[in-house]
């Protein structure tokens, strides 16, 4: 696939921004089709995501500590604990496993729950 920088206008603030090749490649490496963002990076960072399933990829999981991290579509990571896994934990705990998850806010920050394999 050929990537190129795209000049876009933010639907939230009206500012123009560039959807960079690096961001497109990062999404493709995570197994997502690059999708044109509707908001600039600043507005996306301030946006509070509502409830619902999200797609991500397991970055790593430490069985001895019972926790790991999921790389989200935007490239940031979210914590998840073994207790938040639904279905077969052995498949979900594998590095680079494609997963669905929900995010809740805890006193320690965002945490993924209802983590299960994406098929």
Q: Are residues 68 and 105 in the same domain?
A: yes
In a domain, 89, yes or no: yes
Q: Are residues 34 and 14 in the same domain?
A: yes
pTM to 2 decimal places: 0.72
In a domain, 1, yes or no: no
Q: Are residues 64 and 92 in the same domain?
A: yes
Please, what is the Cα angle at 43 between 40 and 48, to 5 degrees? 135
Total domain count, the chain: 2
What is the CATH classification number for the domain harbouring 67?
2.40.50.140
Q: What CA–CA distances, in Å, run from 52 to 20, 49, 99, 109, 111?
A: 27, 9, 13, 17, 13
The pLDDT tens digits of the residues spanning 92-107 come to 999 999 999 999 999 9
Q: Are residues 42 and 61 in the same domain?
A: no
Task: Enter the tokens of residue 30.
Answer: 């995570």
- The Cα 103–Cα 64 span in angstroms is 23
Q: Are residues 37 and 64 in the same domain?
A: no
What is the enclosing helix (H) or strand (E) of 43? Answer: helix 41-46
- The Cα 105–Cα 109 span in angstroms is 5
The pLDDT tens digits of the residues spanning 26-60 come to 888 877 777 788 888 888 777 656 678 888 999 99
Range of the domain at 30: 6-46
């Amino acid at each position: 696939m050929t990537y190129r920088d795209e000049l876009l206008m933010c639907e939230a603030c009206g500012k123009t921004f560039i959807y960079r090749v690096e961001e497109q490649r990062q999404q493709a490496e995570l197994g997502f089709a690059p999708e044109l963002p509707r908001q600039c990076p600043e507005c996306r960072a301030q946006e509070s995501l509502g409830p619902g399933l999200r797609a991500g990829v397991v970055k790593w999981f430490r069985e001895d500590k019972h926790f790991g991290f999921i790389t989200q579509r935007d490239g940031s990571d979210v914590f998840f604990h073994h207790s938040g896994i639904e279905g077969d934990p052995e498949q979900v705990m594998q590095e680079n496993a494609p997963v669905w998850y929900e995010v809740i806010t805890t006193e320690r920050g965002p945490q993924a729950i209802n983590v299960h394999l994406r098929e």
